[in-house]
């Protein structure tokens, strides 16, 4: 049975993926996933190696699906160069022509699209990503973040309806990231469909209301980001506590409604809870009420991978 999802920021579905699988020999990179995406910004979230780039490459026509169908704006993505009139792609990596200036690179892309006023289009795209000051420098001397921005300018120079970005914020500093995020938000407000991949939860949270979570090639969750975020927060959490009197504190904590289990483990207490926030407020209060000195209160296994693993199990 396929993993189905609908991520619908806007009204129409510009991207329709049905039963998509992609494998390399015996390795399954993407396994039977289905989703639709409309206008607005959608985040493709998952740990490294989850299959995000494979999904983006099949959507952009640079990978042939092993099974299933991929349609962008009602047309198949595979072997359909005319689709690039309405599709922009920012691939992962730093590949730009190092002998060109940023402006030459964007202008080249505008001309390859056959734009009537390529110069004006290039100027506009460079302004969107805020690269006017560095546009006349060779891209070979750009930082990773600058390369990312000039690649985005090149990808939006023809004002595509659908924009696909693979890890667009990697290597960017906070100021660059904020500028790029604002630019993408502005494009989304103009009715564009934007899908970007990231393994950083905060990036997705900041930028997109809708999210596709992909783990081990499967679609683990999709839809409204806040609902998924709540799922992540409401999952079982584990804390390690060290105090002046572990045994007495453990007894007191067992009476707390937020606590679902307590265990003495060596010189520490292991506490399980379903309510992360409530427990972090309650634990110090209990210790103070019992007049026990808290030495350490640590959430264990809060890595993004463990959050993803929990979503998969569900």
DSSP of 103-116:
HHHHHHHHHHTT-T
**Bridge partners of residue 22, in order along the sequence:** 30
Instruction: Restricting to residues 142-201, name those near other proteins by CB under 8 A.
Output: 154
Q: Is position 119 an interface residue for other proteins (rule: CB under 8 A)?
A: no
Residue number with CB closer to other proteins (95 or 255): 95
CB 293 within 8 A of CB 249: no
Instruction: Restricting to residues 34-73, name those near other proteins by CB under 8 A.
Output: 57, 60, 62-64
CB 1 within 8 A of CB 23: no
Count of residues of this chain found to bind other proteins when the rule CB under 8 A is applied = 28
Residue number with CB closer to other proteins (82 or 291): 82
Instruction: Restricting to residues 70-109, name those near other proteins by CB under 8 A.
Output: 79, 81-85, 87-89, 91, 93, 95-97, 99-100, 108-109
Residue number with CB closer to other proteins (102 or 204): 102
Q: Which residues contact 299 (CB under 8 A, 6 or more apart)?
A: 237, 238, 239, 276
- Residue 80 C-beta: closest distance to other proteins, Å: 9
96 in helix, strand or coil?
A: coil
Residue number with CB closer to other proteins (60 or 208): 60
Which tokens sit at 275?
């309510």
- Residue 167 C-beta: closest distance to other proteins, Å: 14
Task: Strands of 159-255 (E only): list them.
Answer: 162-165, 193-198, 210-215, 218-224, 237-243
Name the residues that contact other proteins, by CB under 8 A: 57, 60, 62-64, 79, 81-85, 87-89, 91, 93, 95-97, 99-100, 108-109, 111-114, 154
């Amino acid at each position: 049975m396929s993993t189905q999802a609908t991520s619908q920021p806007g009204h129409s579905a510009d991207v329709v993926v049905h039963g998509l699988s992609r494998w390399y020999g015996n390795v399954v990179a993407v396994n039977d996933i289905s989703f639709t995406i409309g206008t607005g910004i959608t985040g493709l979230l998952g740990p490294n190696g989850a299959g995000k780039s494979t999904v983006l490459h099949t959507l952009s026509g640079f990978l042939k699906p092993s099974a299933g169908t991929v349609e962008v704006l009602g047309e198949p993505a595979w072997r359909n160069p005319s689709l690039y009139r309405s599709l922009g792609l920012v691939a992962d990596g730093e590949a730009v022509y190092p002998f060109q200036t940023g402006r030459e690179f964007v202008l080249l892309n505008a001309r390859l699209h056959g734009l009537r006023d390529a110069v004006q289009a290039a100027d506009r795209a460079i302004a969107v990503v805020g690269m006017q000051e560095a546009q006349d420098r060779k891209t070979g001397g750009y930082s990773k973040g600058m390369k990312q921005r000039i690649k985005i300018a090149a990808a939006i120079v023809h004002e595509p309806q659908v924009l696909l970005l693979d890890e667009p914020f990697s290597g960017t500093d906070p100021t660059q990231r904020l500028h790029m995020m604002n630019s993408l938000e502005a494009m989304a407000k103009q009715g564009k469909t934007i899908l970007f991949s990231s393994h950083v939860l905060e990036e997705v949270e900041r930028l997109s209301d809708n999210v596709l979570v992909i783990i081990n090639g499967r679609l683990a969750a999709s839809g409204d980001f806040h609902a998924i975020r709540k799922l992540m927060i409401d999952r079982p959490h584990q804390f390690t506590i060290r105090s002046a009197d572990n045994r007495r504190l453990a007894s007191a904590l067992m009476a707390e409604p937020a606590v679902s289990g307590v265990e003495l483990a060596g010189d520490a207490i292991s506490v399980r809870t379903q309510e992360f926030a409530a427990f972090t407020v309650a634990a110090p209060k209990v210790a103070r009420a019992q007049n026990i000195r808290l030495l350490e209160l640590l959430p264990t296994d809060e890595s993004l991978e463990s959050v993803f693993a929990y979503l998969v199990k569900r």
